[in-house]
Structure 1
Amino acid sequence: MNIKTTLRVIAAALTFGILMSSAQAATYVYVSNADSEDISVLRLDQSNGALSKVETLPVGGTVMPLALSPDHHHLYAGLRSKPYRVLSFAINPLDGHLILLKASPLAESMAYLSTDATGRYLFSASYGGNQLSVNRIDTNGLAGDPQQSVPTGPMAHAIRNAPDNRYVFASVLGSDAWLRLKFDAVTGQLTQDAVPAYTLPPKSGPRHFVFSPDHRFTYLIDELDGKLHVLAFNAANDTARPVQTVSIVPPDFSGDKPWGADVHLTPDGRFLFASERTSSTLASFRVDKKSGTLTRIGTWPTEKQPRGFNIDPSGNYLLAAGQLSTQMSVYRIDKQTGALKAIGQYPVGKNPNWIEFAQFEGTL
């Protein structure tokens, strides 16, 4: 089946999907497994948090970062083994299966992928290549060749657009910097500011970050010092100022050094979760929506070395994978307290490290 035929099939499926009843709405889970070189696809039962297997898809390389298109119709997967590539998949909304449409080169081995707000450009950050890069995405949702690379300090780790899509921000672990780059949404070009948007203490190692749903705050996790930073984000001029710094390690932490990994907010912005790999724990915080500040709720053990986790679009469930585990744990999030309750454990591949959700809502 060629690309044009495949796209027509997907378009038909999407049209049919619009006609589904609300009872047929579906949430699919995608887990990249670096060492088994495949992607686990599962379906999440929203009524009870149970997962059922859809497929395990071999991809022929060390697959790590994943990114969804804004409309959830396409999934992009970065391969960190040579040749460095991004795979563009169509998502079948009827059953969650992935259909590979195109493989395109990446400028380097990329630790992070994301798209701009329009879905027309794919951003990437290279930990080993010390750079950021942009690939254009065509009208069919297929990522093309790299069109720009921007040198950074050592170990660029994450890149995301600001909510207004006028700027892009990037964390650079080795230079303890959170960069701001002006983004031209027409041409896809990035222009880096002369100074970082925020400079962290030496050897902090900034890693991943998220914006609050109301766009007033940014939450930035460090890899090296076990800290999480709250930044007040001014959406009028896309600038940030520090508000609070908290620890993500457990109170009884006894490891040689912290190893922060990932951070996510519930869709309503009420609770924040962070993963720490040395202790293999998840930390939960209550968010003060007015000030953005965090109050610790508790710490929960999870899969060994939890590099990646995510929260489903309903905000009811948290899924966590561990690099040294071939299992993924499912937790129910208490919407009143922010506490986690383990409700299931499911097999995935070797070195699972990234989790994404695609949800398709049915209407009568």
Structure 2
Amino acid sequence: MNKKSIFINIVLVATTLSVATSAYCGTYVYISNTDDADISAYELIAGSSPHLNSIGRFPAGKFVMPMAVTPDGKNLFASVRSKPFALYMYQIDQANGQLKWTGAVPLPDSMVSVSTDKTGKWLLATSFGGHNNSVNQIQTNGYVNPVPAEAFQSGGKNPHAIVFDQSNKFVYVPQLGTDEIKIHSFNASKAKPLSETSTSVALKKQQGPRHIVISADNNFAYVITEMTGEVIVFARDIKSGTLTQIQATSSLPSDSKLVPGRPRPPTGSPEATAFDDSNMIFCAEIKLTPNGKFLYTSERTKSTLSGFEVDPATGKVKYLFTIPTEEMPRGFNVDPSGQFLVASGQKSEKVSLYSINQSTGELALIERVPGGKGANWVTFVKTK
């Protein structure tokens, strides 16, 4: 082989390696662990033998809980709900999913939910105990400006989520304590993008709206109620963002003996010591598959997941099943392909991986892998 041929072969190999590296695509799972004060990370291996492969544990603060990711999948943010309240910032290695801590900035309160907007320029957060919302700018390097662009009262009580619609023009904040959903307008191009004024849609008393998810077509919103365990379905007006309730159905099996829950007293109070919630409904999370065909919810008292079929035309749901899962499943999520569901438990040190039957929505347990203590928030990232 002459020198010219050798040179050409070297160039071809180098080019192939470069293309392979740039085309690398992985799916990663991040789970925040309140008691261990860290974040567990896994790579989701699909194919004929699906598996959650542990890729490390990354330090955070005590009571690290909600997480959010920028739309490009390059930055992860985690809210630490112990004093001093802070937002931990990480860069996501696109080749292997490893987290690189880049610093922490203060948060105005114990933020129970954080979200990034569709442009990746803004981070929104809301506080359950302080009843307030905050808005911080995300710089081009992924660093969050420590000085909030906005910080104001939510207008309700005990907000529990802060979620964008698909158009990035509206933000929904379920108020668990006042049984309503606040609807704010949003304009990413403004210096103060989130409108402090809001409209509101009321739910029944003591339902306790907790988390909300918006359909991919932007036509419907789905809310899980913590106290009554119901899935509330709303039709959305795309222009105004308003919600009109069209269905309310239980997420519990028909033979459930659980009774409606009620707000829990402050931790450490005499009332909390005597509070018996062993037979109360205690729902937590709600998620849709990316194609909108199936919806899932979790209930923490009996440690179960429930599945629903979604009618794409009407948005209404049909209860399918309830299965046992990790103990006290505060957090779970569906992977970006819609083929898998990962569930964690606040009182379990295992993480469950399920396959989702694409025809029936049925969940089949694939494996349980080691996790952390106090696991709660599950976040997926698919690198490009």
Secondary structure of 2:111 counterpart: coil
Structure 1 counterpart of 2:288: 265
The answer to whether the 8 Å contact 1:34/1:62 transfers is yes
CA–CA separation in structure 1 for the residues paired with 2:17 and 2:121? 24
The Cα of 1:19 is off from its aligned counterpart by 3.1
CA–CA separation in structure 1 for the residues paired with 2:199 and 2:42? 43
The Cα of 1:305 is off from its aligned counterpart by 0.7
Counterpart of 2:232, as a letter, is H
1:1-364 superposed matches below 5 A: 19-20=19-20, 24-47=24-47, 48-145=49-146, 146-152=148-154, 153-186=156-189, 187-193=191-197, 195-196=199-200, 198-255=201-258, 256-361=279-384
CA–CA separation in structure 1 for the residues paired with 2:233 and 2:50? 30
Cα distance per residue 1:159-194 (max 9 Å; x no partner): 012221122111110011100112231224322445
| Greater percentage in strand | 1
Cα distance per residue 1:318-364 (max 9 Å; x no partner): 00001111111111100000001011001111010001111124xxx
Cα distance per residue 1:173-223 (max 9 Å; x no partner): 001110011223122432244541x11000111111111111110001111
Secondary structure of 2:160 counterpart: strand
Counterpart of 1:250, as a letter, is P
CA–CA separation in structure 1 for the residues paired with 2:50 and 2:213? 24
The answer to whether the 8 Å contact 1:43/1:53 transfers is yes
CA–CA separation in structure 1 for the residues paired with 2:371 and 2:168? 34
Q: Which moved more, 1:52-61 or 1:105-114?
A: 52-61
Looking at both structures, which has the greater relative contact order when contacts are Cα pairs under 8 Å and sequence separation is at least 6? 1
The answer to whether the 8 Å contact 1:253/1:279 transfers is no
TM-score, normalised via structure 2 length: 0.87
Q: How many residues align?
A: 345
Q: Which moved more, 1:334-343 or 1:249-258?
A: 249-258
Secondary structure of 1:175 counterpart: coil
Cα distance per residue 1:20-78 (max 9 Å; x no partner): 36994211110000011000011110113201110111213221001010111110011
The answer to whether the 8 Å contact 1:49/1:317 transfers is no
Secondary structure of 1:19 counterpart: helix
The Cα of 1:266 is off from its aligned counterpart by 0.5
- Larger CA Rg, structure 1 vs 2: 2
Same amino acid, percent of matched pairs: 39
CA–CA separation in structure 1 for the residues paired with 2:196 and 2:328? 33
Q: Structure 1 residues 280 and 60, CA, compared in 2 at 3 Å: closer, same or farther?
A: same
The answer to whether the 8 Å contact 1:205/1:224 transfers is yes
Cα distance per residue 1:231-284 (max 9 Å; x no partner): 001112211101100101222222322111000001100000001111111110
The answer to whether the 8 Å contact 1:204/1:224 transfers is yes
Q: Structure 1 residues 140 and 337, CA, compared in 2 at 3 Å: closer, same or farther?
A: same
Counterpart of 2:291, as a letter, is D
- CA RMSD in angstroms comes to 1.7
TM-score, normalised via structure 1 length: 0.91
The answer to whether the 8 Å contact 1:114/1:160 transfers is yes
Cα distance per residue 1:108-166 (max 9 Å; x no partner): 00110101111111011101111111111111111122221121222111001222112
Give structure 1 stretches of 5+ with no counterpart: 1-15
The Cα of 1:299 is off from its aligned counterpart by 0.8
The Cα of 1:18 is off from its aligned counterpart by 8.2
